[in-house]
Amino acid sequence: MLKGKVKILSPKSPKAQAINFEFLDADGKTKNIPQKSAHVLEYFRKNIGKSFEVTYGLNPDSSLEWIKNMEGRVIYGTEFAKSVSADVKPNSGPGPVQGDGHQHGGGNGDPMNYNATSPYNFVPLYDEVKASTHNPPQNQFAKDSYSGYMDYSVTNLTELYIRGHGSDKNSDFFSPGGVLQIPGSSVRGMVRNIFEIITQSKFTQFDDIRLFYRAIFGPSAFGRDYVSHFADSKKGNRQNGSVDTHWYKSRAAWLIKEGDKYVLLKPKDHDKYHNGYVQVSDHHGRINEMELSQTFRTHKIFVDCSKICNRNRRHQARRGGRREFDFKTSDIKAENVSFVLKPGYSEAELVVTGKMQNKHFHPIVFPPTKDKYEVDQEIFEIYRTDVSRHERADLLKNLKDKKQVPCFVLLDDNGKVTAFGHTPMFRFPYQKTIGAFVPEELRNEGVEDWTESVFGSILENVNDEKRDKIHAGRLSFGSAFHKDPVNSLRHMEGEKSPKILSSPKPTSFQLYLEQPDGVTKEAIETWEGNGPHRKVRGYKRYWHKSAGGWHEGRIIDDKQHTKIKAVRPNQTFKGRIWFENLSKEELGALYLALTLSDEHFHKLGMGKPLGLGTVQVKSDKVVAKTPNDLKSGYLSCLTRSEAVGCDNEFLNECVALFAAKIYETPVKNREEFWSRVNKEHIKELACMLERDRADPGQVKYMTIQGGRGGNEFESRDILKRPSMISRRR
């Protein structure tokens, strides 16, 4: 990859539709290049007069193909214009789609809207991991290393809640021995997250699971892809008057358990009826009287099998103009179905899967046989990982109360089960796991990053090859105790029920995945992972906002609500972090991750989306000693009352050394780190750490009903970057 330099030149007029930049290639040759791409004009305007390093690529004829800045953003070339490069840093700057306030996204070919709102947002990922260069021995104090402790104070600016020991029924704040305290593990997690981001450590703290989706009416390629798994079709012939014919691929089955294994059985007469089941309409009769609002319910039923009709049912298409098509099915009229046994009727199971607009047919599955479908147990393990499935629709949970449960399966060309669910068109697993959307260079186990080196290794499925890489951390976090331990419980509020917020799950790909500038509904990136960018948005963090109205105003005792006793605002807790063998750079990173700056704040505890947990952390005292200072033994001198703390000059020096080593940026203190480090992930993190920065209307959860004319999720609006969120007025 070739390296050069670029200088953004001033436009000829404020309304110029192109901005020139001066390009200096690796051979020192200079030329002016006009850039007319509207998507990056705003990026150029913000950098007029600035020079910065870039990488670039050449065409086979040695002409310039593309230029990228050091953050990976393409600023010149057809690669950007087509938005097809896997290396492009999507959505990395303010384009007109993000920032001009106009409405976009009418049809599938129009750019998507950036109108999504949420109490959380994401700190974008960086392009490379910074490897640790300081790996001291663990059985002795290392030369040029510092050991000691940091005393700190945590003051909550909004209500704070960390649940105490025991079950969820224990509403008390964490208070062993009758003293309010913040567990050391909570502080550790809070600090580690910031430390990981600012040191550009590996991105590994995520569940590498396979997500599920259902998009029956999706008008885009995403919806068509889903339907292709469940339905097939055959084109009609206009010359002979035939129409298109459609049919389901899913087949009926029964789920049972034999020992510790799950088994899928074929139903009676599975080869007699289309897909092994029969459909009945709820237009009239007893079926219409059932509780069809239930997500999943089965009911014993009796059927006159002589009245079952295998046919092509004619339909009128409701989309794309007036068009007729046939749907291959086996169905029966409701008048030939009974909830009591009648002569000549056969027993079956009615499967009710919930109401849906224009849905009137429900499947009937006949009793199981001993004939089994071929299926791997891995299919059931994948099914368990669906984090968004409704509890009532969970077939494995239903099986705990029943010996057998009707279901539906998809088969491969060899008749082997590839997926199953509670309805003929069920939630389908994506082929790729979340890990496929994290760049390989950010999860390379062969690199030890700063976080692993300082906090210790976290490795799953450890084998002999990995065992040598495991080591303990060099930090120890003690609990932070309320400054008034004797009277601390008085500062705990009465029992309250927090409001329930139906938060979007990771399945909301428009929120959790990077989207290219100007992306259309047709080309939106999904967890199917067929797009060119395929990248998660980064570290999920919650905005600081007012906690007003966070509870229901009364105690609600049901399965959905919980009860908590939060700590009132403006309570101070004092704690200590012990450290050993830290370099000055590591000490600077730890100090920065703990205290941030006077203008930035941490989030801690439960209820973050509701506004709870905004805390300010201040350093009370930092004692750092070299091996020469520790002649009296293992840290014993540090426990003496005469231990002298480090002055601000020393701590600022540590921060400056850290910023210089990681970012090659000169800073004098914590405040300058956040303002001068010109990296996208640092800038966006700084936005998220500001208190009450965002407009309240921009940091609320969207709703299924209400808001901008109904279901706010329906249009799949994209979430803006933190820096693009409107400021609070």
What digits encode the pLDDT tens for the residues 161-198?
999 876 667 899 999 999 999 999 999 999 999 999 99
CATH number of this structure's domain 2-89: 2.40.50
Does residue 452 have a pLDDT over 60?
Answer: yes
In whole angstroms, give the CA distance from residue 117 to residue 712.
9
CA separation, residue 290 to residues 80, 355, 362, 478, 575 (Å): 55, 11, 12, 57, 59
**What is the mean pLDDT of the segment spanning 468-493?**
91
Two structure tokens written together for 495: 């029992």
* Greater model confidence, 504 or 439: 439
Closest CA to 192 of 404, 424, 451, 496: 451
Closest CA to 244 of 252, 254, 236: 236
pLDDT in tens, 502-561: 666 788 888 899 887 777 776 778 888 766 668 999 999 999 998 888 988 888 888 778
Does residue 445 have a pLDDT over 50?
Answer: yes
Looking at the chain, the domain(s) classified CATH 2.40.50 span 2-89
In whole angstroms, give the CA distance from residue 111 to residue 521.
7
**What is the mean pLDDT of the segment spanning 429-456?**
93
Q: 261 — phi, psi (to 5°)?
A: -120, 145
- Global confidence as pTM: 0.77
Phi-psi region of 239 (alpha: psi -120 to 50; beta: other; left: phi over 0): alpha
Does residue 266 have a pLDDT over 60?
Answer: yes
3-state secondary structure (DSSP) of residue 590:
helix
What per-residue confidence (pLDDT) applies to 124? 95
Answer yes or no: are the C-beta atoms of 662 and 200 closer than 8 Å.
yes
Two structure tokens written together for 451: 């976080």
For the chain, how many residues are written?
729
Kind of pairing between the strands at 323-332 and 278-281: parallel
pLDDT in tens, 604-629: 999 999 999 999 999 999 999 988 77
**What is the mean pLDDT of the segment spanning 409-415?**
95
Does residue 16 have a pLDDT over 60?
Answer: no
pLDDT in tens, 391-402: 889 999 999 989
DSSP 141: P
DSSP 504: P
In whole angstroms, give the CA distance from residue 488 to residue 567.
9
**What is the mean pLDDT of the segment spanning 708-719?**
67
In whole angstroms, give the CA distance from residue 724 to residue 98.
7
In whole angstroms, give the CA distance from residue 705 to residue 713.
9
Does residue 12 have a pLDDT over 80?
Answer: no
